[in-house]
Every structure is written in C-alpha cells, then in structure tokens.
C-alpha cells in the first residue's frame, strides 16, 4: 500500500466553531478535571508533543525561558468565562477529493508494462492507496511500484501477467472524507492452442467435417476465429503444412472438395484473437477423405458400462459438486492415473429409476462434441448406477460474467450464443432434444477463458419418426409453451429456451418471470415478449429481432439452429472486437443471479403437469434480491482505509502566527492566526495564561480555513498583556503568543 501525506505531514482545520459557556456551567460539566477538557494530554508529561512559537513564529519548544503552561484550576475559578472550540460537522464545500478525467480501463499485453494513473484535486493534503480485486495492493520490488503526490497517484506493473487483470481501485482520503475510482485492467495475450486435435465429426461420401475443442485459455480476449492447416502424408508425397482457411469462425469446418479424395491428410488448427494467432494444436490422425472405414466419429475415449466393478474400485470419491432431483454429483479422482472427473450418482434402486439412468447413459454415448460435456463411462451395479463425466472446472456462464475485469458486451454475448447453438445444432442433427436448457446448464470450461459446454442431459429425449413426444417436465422460466400445454414437443422447444437465455444474457432480466411458478407458466403460455427500454437501452435492434424470432408461440415459426447461426445479428458481430463496444451494466444480471440462488435453494428440476398445475409444490414468492454493492471494498481494503485515516493524523500546527500589536486606547485590535491539525483541534484563548473572558467588546471568530481571530474593541489599559492561542488534539498541543500594548 502506498501512503502519501504530502511533502509536509499536515491537515488543515477546515470546519469548527466556538462555544461560550459561563464559568459555573463549564465547571459543573468538567469538575476539577477542567484542564483536561482544554488540553487532552497534560503537557508536562508529554513535552515532545508541544510546539510553542513566539510572535515571529520562532519555535520555543522546550525553551527554559518560555515554559509551556496551561490554565490552572485556580485561574479557571477566578475567571468569568471560558472559550472552548469544538469542531463542527465536516463541510464538503470545496474540500472533497475530485478525480480529474480518470481513465475507465486499460489494456496491455502479457509481458508489457501497465501504468494505471489517476489525477485528482484536493484543497487539503491527502493519503492514497490502491486496491486490487478487494485486496490491498502488495508491492513487489521487481514488478510493481507506486508514485504519489498531492495531485496524482500512479501504479506501475512491469512484466504484466494474466493474474494481474481485474479492477484496481484508487482510494484517496483527506481530512474531509475519501473518494475512490476503479480502473479495469485487461491483460491480453495470444490464445493457447486449441485443446484437442481436429477429428471427423461428420463423414459422407462427398465431404468431411472437422471439429475440435477451443483453447483452454483465450488470452483474455474473445476468440475471433480459427486457422485450419493441412499437410499430405501419404507415401508418394510428403507435404509441408499449408493453410486451408483463415476465415473459420466456429469450432468445426467442412473440408472443401478441392483436396485429392485419394490423398491421405493430417490437419491441425490455430486459434485467433485480436492480439494474435496461437501455436498449432496437436495434429489429427491420418484421414483419407473417401474411406469411411479409416475414421471414427470422434477422437474421444471409448466408453462402456462397467457391470463387474463398483465406482469405488477405481475412483476416490471427493467433495460433492451438486445435488438435484436425479441424485448427486461428486468430484472423482482415478486411483491409478490421477485423472479428475465428475461422477453422477443416480438416486433410487427401483426399476423405473434405473431404467431412466440407463437411458441417459445410452444417449450420452452418442454425444461427442466440443460444446457438450464429455461422457467417459459408467458403472451399473446392484447397489448403484454412476455415470462418469468430464470434470469442468469453470462456473456457470452468468456467474462468469460477474467476474471483475470480464468484458460484458454485446459481441461477447454473441460469442456465447454461438457456442450454445453449435452444441445444440449437433444434438438436433441426431434428432435429440435437450428439454432443460437454462443458465445453470451452460458452464464455462475454466475460470479465465470464454469457452462453454452444455451439461445435464437428464431430461433429453431422442425423437422417433412417427411417434409424438409429450413431456411434463422442465424449468418454468425456460420451458416452451407447448410443454405447458402438453402438446407434441420437437426440436423447437430447445430454441425457445435459447431465446430466453439470450434475453437474460443481454438484459439481466427474465422475460416471463412471475411472482410464482403458476404466474410464470401463464406468462409463458401468453408468449408476449416485451423489451424494457431501460434494460435494452444499449442493445442493438438486431438482437431484439433475433430474440423475437426464437420466442414465437408457434413453434413452426421459430428459428432452427442453422438459421439462428446464419442470422444477421450473429453474423454482424462475428468479427467485432468486444473492446471497441460499450460495456453492458452488470447490476441487473447480479440481481437476477441473487434471485435464482434464492429460489433454487432446495429445488432442482420441477415436474410440470398439464397447463399451469405443478406436480410438485410451488415455491413461495421470490425473495428480495441482494445484489451486493460494487462500491463495497473487502475487509482488507477497509483496513487500508483505516490506515489512511491514521496516516493523516497530525498534531496542531500554526501556519500563520500571532503578531505583536500596539494600538491606542479606545481603538479596536484583531489578533489572528491560522491552525491546522487532524483531528480538529480544540482552541482556547488566554490572556497572561488566564482564559479570556467573553464580553460585549471581546469576540472570538473562527473561519473554516482554520483562521482564528480574537477581536477586542474599545481598548483599555487592562487589556495589555500576552495573548496566547492554545490548540490541542489527541496528537499533541501547540501554542502561539503575541503581546498587546495599549497606548495611553
């Protein structure tokens, strides 16, 4: 933490007032300890805190000729009145810290130097510190430094790393209060290589379609495309790597017919973001275009159901990851390989429950795509059925958006929608409908990148030609109208859910959320989609058209995945750099998440009955949201603020001292001085070491800039003497004296 108190350690007294009390009242309040009211710490016991100046401002501290004294109890009893200064409530007039055109964000590449700088104005000396992601900035001698003065503060970070990204808050404090401003630091780099080599996802006699998994880390900036490369590896001709395309926007690519159908090829892929191009992925197996026997559908591991062993024979069962209507999910670790995966333990030993579990397992054996959670195997024993799945280390998509430093823009939303559509397009081509698409089932691959996967196929069904599918399950907020009406369900049911997800992703509000499940289902049945002007203020018209095309009551009118991916809104933002567009407000998204966390506590997937009657008990009214506060700092940052407060404390000092005066009898004289100190000092005026007596011709005035004035009118001979202004606070005591001579 960097602290700055100015070139001189001082704080100006800006607001205080004088209070006048009769001697009897003052003594009644303070008793025999009245001296301590005037001077908080007895001066003889702490002479180091005393600063005394003469009329010329010369320091008389510890001078034997000028001992520091305070009014005695006897003198107080003999005096008529006591004048004691008490500080007034802080005034913000012209004293608050104000930032001057502070930057909102800064973007640097990995390895470069980041300089976060803020200029500010303050009429008082300041102290400042930097906070990173609610933690006090800890300086590293080799990588970071802070430079501060009374007008600005700069944080320099050299050799920037991805973990340096996030919000940096500069907190500036003066004795009147504090102000803060946050700068978002984005650290970008070339993306990592794609996580998997290209594999054949579709094969026909006339074409080959390659698919792959995106990079584990996108470099801190959204992936804008992929470069597909190939080389010939058959015995007759060994070629170098050549570029097949640099314009691929998705994680799949159809190989053109220009390649020799008799040739044997290998493929690899590079990821592209606004910073640059990644290293290549691992190369694929050798592929002959026209030989279907040479390729498998995907390069995933072989999966099978183990009926001879228990899951505990091969895996250590670690912490629980989630719980739902189906059962529970635990993190697993393979005893031999150490590979981490997720185990879905199905609840119930009855025939019906086991049949449902086996149905999901058989369906998952068909699903192998980079945008879908990977199925690794299953255990089916007398005691339990367990499905082994890929462990995904990221969080739910909407929670990822709330991270500090995450670029929440319309282009990044398009990036996520594209990935969701690509995954659903794959299962729709297999005539499978998911039936439970919702934010909780869209999970980020890791905590840094922008790649997502679709999970939880527990309600998914395979459509059979000539046989109508009618279901009574789903999540009310995302379920399609035909499900509520108990009408035949098709692939279009998923497209409705995707429309709801897109609406929430862009606005942070749910289009059909009611105060209860029954009201929500009624709103879904009406299918009246409205766009709140405030929530969609920064959203393009193309996005609204896209959402309307999905949220159609008539399922035949909804976009298919192919048409959705080709929609002008999706295409127009495919190559837009998110950094060049306006960031969306996260506050409504934060409230949405808070509400969902409350309402889904103890509730997984609800079963729906015909129309709006629920087969399970409806939840009560939604709990008020608790969105949190962007301005709230963490406990360590609050401690830093308290340290700033302590650093500003200083004993009273006189910036302008009293001057000796000589005036004729009957005239008016003014003694004035300027005091600074923090906390605000209490001030007492003395004449020849006795408290001054307030009267009609003797007045004391105090200005908010710390100027103290003693006004004596109609001068008399007895007014001659040594006048002292005594200022004290918890840090110490200071005195300033000057002599008045009344000319006869």
Pairing of strands 732-743, 721-729: antiparallel
Q: Which residues, in sequence order, are CB contacts of 627 under 8 Å at separation 6+?
A: 587, 590, 591, 594
Nearest to 61 by CA among 593, 648, 733, 741: 733
pLDDT at 112: 93
Give tens-digit pLDDT for 213-255.
778 777 877 788 899 998 888 755 566 898 989 988 877 788 8
pLDDT at 51: 44
Active-site residues, by number, are 436
- Enter the DSSP assignment of 589: H
Helix (H) or strand (E) holding 34: helix 34-38
Considering Cα of 117, then 123, then 129, then 130, what sign does the dihedral take? negative
Q: How many residues make up the chain in this entry?
A: 744
What span, in angstroms and rounded, lies between the C-alpha atoms of 90 and 85? Answer: 15
* C-alpha separations of 403 from 184, 395, 400, 649 in Å: 11, 11, 6, 36
Nearest to 84 by CA among 46, 40, 124, 123: 40
The answer to whether the beta carbons of residues 245 and 435 sit under 8 Å apart is no
Helix (H) or strand (E) holding 20: strand 17-22
Which domains are seen in the chain, by residue range?
A: 17-86+649-743 (2.60.40.10), 98-187 (2.60.40.10), 199-294 (2.60.40.10), 303-391 (3.30.200.20), 396-617 (1.10.510.10)
Residue 742 in tokens: 């009344």
What span, in angstroms and rounded, lies between the C-alpha atoms of 229 and 271? Answer: 11
Largest CA distance in the chain: 125
The answer to whether the beta carbons of residues 85 and 39 sit under 8 Å apart is no
Nearest to 167 by CA among 225, 105, 120, 124: 105
The answer to whether the beta carbons of residues 559 and 567 sit under 8 Å apart is yes
Which residues of the chain have a pLDDT value below 70? Answer: 1-95, 133-134, 138-141, 201-207, 235-239, 257-258, 261, 289-303, 324-325, 348-349, 403-407, 447-449, 574-581, 593-645, 704
Look up the pTM and report it: 0.48
């Amino acid at each position: 933490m960097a602290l700055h108190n100015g070139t001189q350690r001082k704080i100006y007294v800006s607001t205080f007032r004088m209070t006048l009390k009769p001697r009897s009242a003052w003594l009644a309040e303070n008793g025999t300890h009245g001296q301590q009211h005037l001077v908080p710490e007895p001066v003889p016991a702490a002479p180091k805190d005393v600063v005394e100046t003469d009329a010329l401002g010369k320091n008389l501290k510890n001078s034997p000729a000028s001992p520091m004294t305070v009014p005695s109890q006897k003198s107080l009893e003999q005096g008529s009145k006591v004048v004691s200064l008490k500080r007034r409530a802080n005034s913000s007039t012209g004293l608050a810290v104000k930032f001057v055109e502070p930057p909102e964000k800064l973007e640097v590449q990995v390895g470069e130097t980041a300089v976060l700088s803020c200029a500010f104005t303050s009429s008082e000396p300041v102290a400042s510190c930097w906070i990173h992601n609610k933690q006090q900035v800890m300086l590293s001698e080799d990588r970071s430094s802070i430079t501060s003065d009374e007008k600005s503060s700069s944080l320099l970070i050299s050799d920037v790393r991805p973990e340096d990204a996030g919000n940096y808050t500069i907190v500036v404090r003066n004795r009147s209060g504090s102000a803060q401003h946050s700068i978002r630091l984005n650290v970008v780099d070339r993306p990592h290589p794609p996580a998997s080599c290209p594999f054949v996802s579709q094969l026909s006699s006339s074409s080959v379609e390659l698919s792959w998994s995106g990079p584990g880390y996108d470099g801190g900036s959204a992936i804008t495309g992929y470069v597909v490369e190939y080389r010939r590896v058959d015995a007759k001709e060994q070629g170098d790597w050549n570029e097949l395309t640099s314009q691929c926007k998705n994680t799949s690519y159809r190989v053109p017919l220009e390649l020799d159908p008799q040739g044997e090829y290998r493929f690899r892929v590079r990821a592209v973001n606004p910073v640059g191009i990644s290293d290549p992925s691992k190369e694929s197996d050798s592929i002959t275009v026209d030989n279907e026997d040479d390729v498998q559908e995907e390069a995933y591991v072989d999966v099978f159901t183990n009926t001879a062993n228990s899951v505990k024979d091969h895996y250590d069962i670690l912490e629980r990851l989630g719980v739902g209507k189906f059962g529970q999910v635990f993190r697993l670790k393979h005893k031999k390989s150490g590979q981490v995966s997720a185990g879905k333990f199905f609840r119930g030993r009855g025939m019906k429950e086991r049949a449902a579990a086996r149905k999901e397992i058989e369906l998952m054996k068909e699903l192998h795509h980079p945008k879908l959670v990977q199925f690794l195997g299953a255990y089916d024993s007398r005691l339990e059925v367990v499905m082994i799945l890929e462990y995904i280390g990221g969080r739910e998509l909407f929670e990822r958006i709330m991270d500090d430093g995450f670029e929440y823009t319309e282009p990044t939303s398009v990036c996520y929608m594209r990935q969701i559509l690509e995954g659903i397009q794959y299962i729709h081509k297999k005539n499978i409908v998911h039936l439970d698409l919702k934010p909780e089932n869209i999970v980020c691959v890791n905590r840094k990148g922008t790649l997502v996967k679709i999970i939880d196929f527990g309600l998914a069904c395979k459509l059979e030609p000539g046989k109508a599918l009618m279901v009574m399950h789903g999540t009310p907020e995302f379920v399609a109208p035909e499900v509520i009406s108990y009408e035949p369900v098709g692939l279009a049911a998923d497209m409705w859910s995707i429309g709801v997800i897109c609406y929430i992703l862009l606005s942070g509000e749910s289009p059909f959320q009611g105060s209860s499940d029954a009201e929500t289902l009624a709103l879904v049945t009406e299918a009246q989609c409205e766009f709140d002007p405030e929530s969609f203020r920064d959203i393009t018209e193309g996005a609204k058209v896209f959402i309307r095309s999905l949220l159609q009551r008539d399922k035949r009118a909804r976009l298919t995945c192919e048409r959705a991916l080709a929609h002008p809104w999706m295409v127009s933002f495919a190559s837009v750099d998110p950094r060049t567009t306006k960031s969306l407000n996260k506050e409504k998204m934060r409230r949405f998440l808070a509400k969902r966390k409350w309402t889904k506590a103890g509730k997984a997937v609800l079963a729906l009955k015909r129309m709006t009657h629920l087969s399970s008990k409806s939840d009560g009214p939604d709990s008020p949201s608790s969105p949190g506060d962007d301005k709230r700092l963490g406990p360590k940052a609050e401690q830093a603020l308290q340290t700033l407060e302590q650093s500003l404390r200083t004993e009273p000092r006189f910036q302008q001292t009293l001057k000796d005066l000589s005036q004729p009898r009957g005239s008016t004289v003014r003694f004035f001085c300027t005091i600074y100190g923090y906390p605000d000092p209490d001030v007492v005026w003395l004449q020849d070491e006795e408290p001054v007596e307030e009267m009609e011709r003797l007045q004391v005035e105090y200005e908010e800039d710390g100027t103290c004035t003693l006004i004596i009118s109609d001068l008399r001979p007895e007014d001659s003497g040594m006048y002292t202004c005594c200022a004290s606070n918890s840090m110490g005591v200071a005195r300033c004296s000057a002599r008045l001579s009344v000319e006869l």
